[in-house]
Amino acid sequence: MDRIVVSSSSSRDSLLSTHKVLRNTYFLLALTLAFSALTATASTVLMLPAPGLLLMLVGFYGLMFLTYRLADRPAGILAVFALTGFMGYTLGPILSSFIASGAGDLIMLALGGTAAVFFCCSAYVLTTRKDMSFLSGMMMAGFVILLVAVIANLFLQIPALSLAISALFILFSTGAILWETSNIIHGGETNYIRATVGLYVSLYNLFISLLSILGFARSN
């Protein structure tokens, strides 16, 4: 009888802990998305220059490393805002080019598509509580393929390859949202800062990829 009570109490504590991580993750994600939108708007209005590839990579991976390093400390929250603010800044020049070319409506379409994918994926996992851990192997293979394709396209600059990369990024980001959400609710991820970063990066890549495909379709 005592074992049953202890087991029940342990399960309840685990469930409460999972709900807390999920709640904190979504709350921090909402705040970082708002902050990122603010920095993107400022970058667009002020027409700030686009960062070069080297600055983009150093800024992103440097702040990503800092965030993961501080994920278990209060300073980790500041690192998350630094990372998402920087990513918002990098969006500014891209959005400016779309607005200048008269394709500002595509930005709203890409935002709507990104939101729809996120809510559908999250709702599916939260409703069914399906374990998506089987996606990890496919995502690793997809990451390697994307990395090779992106590096190749830096030299080849083939429009069709760029379109294919955007489509693959959409699939990869969708799978990442499913996997990350499942990982949270099944107790695989207990740190809401790391979970927030994972979801944010997926949403960022999803938005950029949708915008790229819509822009390609409009240009044709």
Coil/strand/helix, residue 74: coil
Average pLDDT score over residue span 19-33: 94
What is the percentage of the chain residues whose pLDDT exceeds 90? 61
> Using one digit for the tens of pLDDT, what is the confidence trace for 35-72?
999 999 999 999 888 888 888 989 999 999 999 999 99
78 vs 218, higher pLDDT: 78
Greater model confidence, 94 or 7: 94
Chain mean pLDDT for the chain: 89
CA distance 123 to 149: 31
The residues spanned by each domain of the chain are 7-219
Residue 1: pLDDT over 60: no
- Amino acid at site 218: R
CA distance 54 to 59: 8
Contact at 8 Å (CB) between 139 and 183?
Answer: no
